[in-house]
Structure 1
Amino acid sequence: MNAFHRPAPRFRLRQGTLLIVLALAAARAAAGPEPEELSTLPLESLMDVTMVTSASRFAQRVSDAPSAVSVLTSQDVREHGWRTLGDALASLPGLYVSSDRNYDYLGARGFLRPGDYDSRFLLLIDGVRVNDSVYDQASIGDDSLVDMDLVERIEYVPGPGAAVYGSNALFGVINVITKTGSALAGAQGAVSAGSRGERRGRASYGYHSQDGTDLLLSVKASTRRGDALYAPEYDTPEQNHGLAEGLDYQRAHGAFVKASRGGWGVSAGYIERVKGVPTASFGAVFNAPYHTRDTQSFASVAYNAAPADDVALSTRLDWGRADYLGVGWYPDAEGRVRQNIDGDHAAWYALNLNATFTGLAGHKLLAGLDAQRNARRDQFNFNQDPYQQELDDRRADSRLGAYVEDEMRLARKVVVNAGLRFDRDSITGTRLSPRAALIWQPGAADTLKLIYGTAYRSPNAYELYYAVGVADGGQAANPGLRAEEISTHELVWERQPDAYSKVSLAVFHYRISGLITETVRRDGMLMFDNTERASANGMELAAERLYPGGTRVRANYAWQRARDGDGASLVNSPRHLAKLNATWPLPGEALRLGVEGRCMSRRLTEHTTAAGYCNWNLTLLPARRRAAGLDWSLSFYNAGDHRYADPAGPAFVQEAIPREGRTIVTKIGYAF
């Protein structure tokens, strides 16, 4: 019997309720500081991050940001053993991650349809946009450019961000700020080994001189054997009784460099990943060799200057490239099995100019210009033996955006943040994206935010132009697609009585129109079309607390109700999410234990449901990271070995794709 077909409750109520109670308990703790005991804790242990840069493209206090901003730090990454960006983001309020055993996908506020790519989030690395120019995908798995050991902090800005960033920022902006060379201060390396043949290695070097020159260099590599995967839909003698063996493997290697001196800064990154695909997606032959190869790279040169005390200027030139190749075996119209090659080439370059002016009393003004040229949006597909070309589509287009934003302090306790952006792209024409937030601080500890914003997403090249197998029921192009749009209303309450406690509550409503959806036509062809609408109401409760003795607790609960235009619940949209992250020193204070719990209610699949679940991850590590010497950790992911699955999209025969069982990983690092 397949694991996700076992009888299971709709929601693990006991464990889910436990997490919710813990969240409420932490929220209650936030109302009462204990300064006598907490004052003995070292400054670097404070969880408070007072300034963020991602919400408005300039530095501002978290309480002044026009969003319920969440921040994760390098300490969080280390204490919970997160291996990918998706692992980290899945701990935040309202976010959840699905996997189809090839890519990881991020959902927010009840919206993550199987078959969609992560094109409704904008992903930045040190402020550099890295969504590719064919799929507009924000890679959050092992195919991501982000090395988690190099993360200084992650800023997540939920809600529409088009007023300052343009297309793709429908559900949020993710900015990964990497470490500097001074943070490493020399050479260091790390190796890890784990279940299913997992092996990872990293070597890094950091340098900082007295004249301000800062340099970071890092390389990494990993390999993994993976699981044998059972699918009851293929359980026949001719298909190995539904067991895909030796096809879940993964190999990857990458590099990252970052340097700065004076006002200049440069950064570059590279990742190549080969992933075996065991799911027979898109009509592939089950248990036959099938793999994808993804290569991504970027480079950026920036210059920042302050010609006056009240003026800051920023200029940045970016370049990016992404290449995809999929190799599998498919039956043709005559029933012959042939090898098919599918792929794309994406290349783009962009220029960003902005200026911040603070010379006008009570105002912080930002004005900027973004220009991006998508030099390559090429897609191809062909069969081998004999050669038969199915697709050779070559495209290029441009985007131009101008934006202004003003943070106005109307009174000592009242701030209005208003922004407006004008965009023009050669595919969907012109668009205006406003955002406004009224921020009131009735007391020293409390902040209320009333936020309204809109955003849009232009259709990507895959949705517009991909056409393969038109003669025998494949996928058709739709160059007439329009941009999809979202409008969001949100009320946020934040309470932070001291640097050790915080509680927040966000209530939201959003509506999406012109939703780009992969549909099945009457002739059996797949095609993307602007056929649907969606809306959602929800709330997100979050609390965190640093206790005397060093115990840190962060918990959140989200309730969300997302529906399509006919009022039906969306596929892969959980009603409840509950999460707990806690770390505390063990007796003797030499070791520290990190515990992570995640509960999700049941979700609809295309025709049935995927059961709810609760998972627990554990990480044991030294209580303190030393500037030099040995560091190690032992992590248990899905420690209870719970069997669960994520809803699959229309490209799969399976209703749901099983996730991995218990995984054990040992990591050893050394800083010289």
Structure 2
Amino acid sequence: MRQASPIPSCNTRPARLAWGVALACLHGAALAQPAPAPVATAQLPEVVVSGSRHEQSGDELPLSYDVIDARALSDGQVRSVREALQELPNTSVRLLPSRFSVTGVSSATGRDGNAGINIRGLGGNRVLLLVDGVRLPRSYAFRTTVFDREYLSLELVKRIEVVRGPASALYGSDGMAGLVQFITPEPADFLGGTDGQPAKAVGGRLAAGWSGDDHGRMAAGTVAAQAGEGVQWLLTASARRAHALDNRGSVGTPDSRRTRPNPQTDDDRAVLGKVVLTPGAGQRHVFTLEHIERRQDIELLSSRAPLPLAGTPAQVAAAVVGEASERSMQRDRLAWSGRFELGTAWADRLQATLAWQQSDSRQIGTNLRQALPPRIRDNRYQETTWQAALQAGRLLRAGGWAHQLTYGVDHVSSRIGNLYDGLNPAPPEVFPLKRFPDTRETASALFAQDEAIVGDWSFTPGLRFDHFALDVTSQALFHPPARQPGQSLSGSALSPKFGALWRATPQWSLFGQYASGFRAPEAGQVNGYFENLAEQVVILPNAGLRPEKSRGAEFGVRGRLQRLRLDASVFHNRYRDLIQDAALIGGSGTAADPRVFQAINLERARISGFEVKGSYDWGLVAGGRLATSFAYGQARGRNQATGQPLNSVDPAQLALGLRHEHATWGWALDARHHAAKRAADIDSASAVKAPNTQFTIPSATVLDASVQWRPRPDVRVNLALHNLTNRRYWLWSDVYGLPAQSGTNDAWTQPGRSGHVSVVLDF
């Protein structure tokens, strides 16, 4: 089998098309340069926080990044992280239909919701998620119990920043594959006053929307006010009620043959409050309160046995005749962020952060059988976190050099717990119990980075030292039945990085970066324990797990011409000591010789690929401005321990957009082409159990259209039609682990044609 190349081939049709679009835009831009066009407007550079831990023009960063701003989130009627990131190359979010079994005897599909973001072939907890610099909880998965990470309401978010590649040098563990930061609004975003004009006394926004693919209804409101000299406040609240996301399945029977979505009701509510104090003397303080709660009620028709019941008397007695699940999650955050202008010899400014966050997830499932007692599963996962950071910045000049120093300390302490309760557990377990003991995870770090500028060059070396500890705080409800008590674990890691950027001309720049990353083992991986005599399955803990490590290199080019914006990059990342959850290490599956699973350091991997993205402004056409956007990404990955492809790598995707903006209206056409996932690019043996083979997906092109009407400058009406051609298609991130032999694969299809509408009023 062909080995992955550090720079993948561009000979595929989508790749040729993407480069063709880019070259055509380059040619048009080159022709447009000699005669300045009065209709072209210069775009302000994007300001990015996540790339260097302070506000900086994104064009000055020696790495790849993406920014989704408030206008794109609002006008695009974005409801989830998946929708927000769907246009980005080599990026995906796994979202499964709710087709799981309460007791875990069959499938866990759909327990995890938006389990995590995949960036350049790695996802889950290997991608760091932040809200205003505070870490979001991890997802937790143990056997068929999965809790996802989307403790979010995008109605509370004004901007999303995505940094690709290892980010451990600045942010520590969990940033091995990259980071995604969700930034919430402040009063000034609604009051103005940042452009030299006086701020309004009161401002805000009202929004309402409806989505046809899940029959969802949303309402949100924000009010901000100036409460006095140097005091501003903001309060935002949102609510959304929806049903199951539709698909192209056609079988509606109330049993395991069903391919239509299960009946489902979703209720989401969120509140954000902020107070901003600027008492003078170079001080600024931001106090934040955030509350998120989400609930799902699902009638699991797809887990029922078909009627009439058939099989042996024992099988008939155990046949499932009814199942239902209630899932809830809640996150509360209290945070203070302070900024002080010092002007001392050791720091120009000082930033301090102190945050407390508590998150709780719960799943209650009821399983009714034909002639056996009912089973109830009540599973919980909790994280309570304190986070503190102190960061200093200093600008130094020496000769022709300028140095922007950033250095500081981070400390995070989390108490993590789980509880399993209910009725009729599988022997030898006795409820209540814990899959891993109560654990305190701490991480303390020192970091430093220098952005050195001389002439047209910038050099950015950085270094971070982390010490992490996983300490068991209580063995209660864990031992027994575990064969051994939970073990503690600690270690340290050094994460260096080096970036360089050359401004070849005022329009073009070249950049490159080398960065290392790591991720410490999790409590459930180190101490997770499970035993089921009926299934002859044992999952053992592993206190000898080592941190996962990565090393990555990236090279790219940026073009900022009068009409054209272009970003292109190639990357090559190597990983070692990757942790494989629940690897089979022995046993034949009999009562005398049960199958034994364990989390182990097994895999070494490499992932390489390229990305090209940008936009071209065609100027005034038919009384409005016409622009084209494009993005293409392609990657290849290989598990070097087995020689097989990495299933976590998504197929190539091409996104093209055409937008026309007029003073009072606008329209857009968007196309996304998803390449096929071929059998040659799949390690089927690690995805599904033999003799099954992994389900492959064909290529698909999806078209969306939208119109915006602005009857007044402060009112926007958005209308959209998704999947115009009613295309039947699957996404690889969703079907990984789905056997081709299954007769219900249509249940994993994406929604067909659907309408969407929203109204936004600013005041």
Normalised TM-score (structure 1) = 0.86
1:30/1:503 contact within 8 Å kept = no
**Could you list the per-position Cα deviations for residues 278-313 of structure 1 after superposition, in whole angstroms to 9, with x for gaps in the alignment?**
5769x9969721232111222210110111186110
Query: Where does residue 634 of structure 2 map in the other structure?
Result: 559
Is 2:197 the partner of 1:155?
A: no
Query: Where does residue 569 of structure 2 map in the other structure?
Result: 506
Query: Where does residue 422 of structure 2 map in the other structure?
Result: 383
Aligned partners of 1:527, 1:317: CA distance in 2, in Å?
37
2:392/2:406 contact within 8 Å kept = yes
1:422/1:431 contact within 8 Å kept = yes
Aligned partners of 1:140, 1:180: CA distance in 2, in Å?
28
Residues 198-597 of structure 1 correspond to what in structure 2 (within 5 A)? 198-208=216-226, 211-226=229-244, 239=255, 241-243=257-259, 246-262=262-278, 263-276=284-297, 288-308=323-343, 311-329=348-366, 337-361=374-398, 362-374=402-414, 376-384=415-423, 388-391=431-434, 393-409=437-453, 411-427=454-470, 428-471=490-533, 472=535, 473=537, 475-498=539-562, 500-521=563-584, 522=586, 523-524=594-595, 527-549=598-620, 550-565=625-640, 566-585=642-661, 590-597=664-671
SS of the residue 2:122 aligns to: coil
Instruction: For 1:426, give the aligned amino acid.
Output: A
**Could you list the per-position Cα deviations for residues 113-168 of structure 1 after superposition, in whole angstroms to 9, with x for gaps in the alignment?**
xxxxx3122222233322448679x9998x442424x5433222111111110011
SS of the residue 1:76 aligns to: helix
Instruction: For 1:384, give the aligned amino acid.
Output: L
SS of the residue 1:199 aligns to: strand
Query: Where does residue 53 of structure 2 map in the other structure?
Result: 57
**Could you list the per-position Cα deviations for residues 553-580 of structure 1 after superposition, in whole angstroms to 9, with x for gaps in the alignment?**
2211112111111332222423422112
Q: Which moved more, 1:639-648 or 1:445-454?
A: 639-648
Cα gap change, 1:171/1:469 in structure 2, threshold over 3 Å: closer, same or farther?
same
**Superposition deviation, residue 324 in structure 1:** 0.9
Aligned partners of 1:123, 1:171: CA distance in 2, in Å?
11
Query: Where does residue 633 of structure 1 map in the other structure?
Result: 718
**Superposition deviation, residue 354 in structure 1:** 0.8
The runs of 5 or more residues in structure 2 that have no matched partner are 1-11, 98-109, 192-202, 279-283, 305-317, 471-489, 587-593, 688-692
Cα gap change, 1:438/1:331 in structure 2, threshold over 3 Å: closer, same or farther?
farther
Aligned partners of 2:527, 2:711: CA distance in 1, in Å?
53
1:134/1:346 contact within 8 Å kept = no
**Superposition deviation, residue 360 in structure 1:** 3.9
SS of the residue 2:323 aligns to: coil
**Superposition deviation, residue 194 in structure 1:** 2.7
% identical equivalent positions: 20
Aligned partners of 2:91, 2:556: CA distance in 1, in Å?
17
Aligned partners of 2:434, 2:722: CA distance in 1, in Å?
41
- The alignment of Structure 1 onto Structure 2 pairs a total of residues equal to 638
**Superposition deviation, residue 357 in structure 1:** 0.7
CA RMSD of aligned residues (A): 3.4
Cα gap change, 1:19/1:222 in structure 2, threshold over 3 Å: closer, same or farther?
farther
SS of the residue 2:330 aligns to: strand
SS of the residue 1:239 aligns to: coil
The runs of 5 or more residues in structure 1 that have no matched partner are 1-12, 113-117
**Superposition deviation, residue 612 in structure 1:** 2.5
SS of the residue 1:602 aligns to: coil
Cα gap change, 1:364/1:533 in structure 2, threshold over 3 Å: closer, same or farther?
same
Is 2:718 the partner of 1:621?
A: no
Aligned partners of 2:248, 2:616: CA distance in 1, in Å?
42
1:85/1:140 contact within 8 Å kept = no
Q: Which moved more, 1:534-543 or 1:631-640?
A: 631-640
Query: Where does residue 313 of structure 2 map in the other structure?
Result: none
Cα gap change, 1:504/1:665 in structure 2, threshold over 3 Å: closer, same or farther?
same
**Superposition deviation, residue 438 in structure 1:** 1.8
1:390/1:468 contact within 8 Å kept = no
Cα gap change, 1:81/1:26 in structure 2, threshold over 3 Å: closer, same or farther?
farther
**Superposition deviation, residue 475 in structure 1:** 4.7
Cα gap change, 1:651/1:328 in structure 2, threshold over 3 Å: closer, same or farther?
farther
Query: Where does residue 611 of structure 1 map in the other structure?
Result: 698
2:445/2:465 contact within 8 Å kept = yes
Q: Which has the larger radius of gyration?
A: 2
The equivalent position to 1:191 in structure 2, one of 181, 201, 208, is 208
Instruction: For 1:188, give the aligned amino acid.
Output: R
Instruction: For 1:486, give the aligned amino acid.
Output: S
1:27/1:542 contact within 8 Å kept = no
Aligned partners of 2:233, 2:248: CA distance in 1, in Å?
47
Instruction: For 2:705, give the aligned amino acid.
Output: L
1:391/1:468 contact within 8 Å kept = no
**Could you list the per-position Cα deviations for residues 295-349 of structure 1 after superposition, in whole angstroms to 9, with x for gaps in the alignment?**
12222101101111861101110111111111224699x9865111111111000
Aligned partners of 1:519, 1:610: CA distance in 2, in Å?
26
Instruction: For 1:430, give the aligned amino acid.
Output: S
Cα gap change, 1:378/1:214 in structure 2, threshold over 3 Å: closer, same or farther?
same
Normalised TM-score (structure 2) = 0.76
Cα gap change, 1:510/1:525 in structure 2, threshold over 3 Å: closer, same or farther?
same
Cα gap change, 1:470/1:229 in structure 2, threshold over 3 Å: closer, same or farther?
farther
Cα gap change, 1:364/1:524 in structure 2, threshold over 3 Å: closer, same or farther?
same
**Could you list the per-position Cα deviations for residues 484-539 of structure 1 after superposition, in whole angstroms to 9, with x for gaps in the alignment?**
111101111111124x4211211110011111223442444554322212211211
Instruction: For 1:490, give the aligned amino acid.
Output: E
SS of the residue 1:272 aligns to: strand
1:182/1:208 contact within 8 Å kept = no
Aligned partners of 1:659, 1:248: CA distance in 2, in Å?
17
Aligned partners of 1:420, 1:505: CA distance in 2, in Å?
26
Instruction: For 1:97, give the aligned amino acid.
Output: V
**Superposition deviation, residue 373 in structure 1:** 0.9
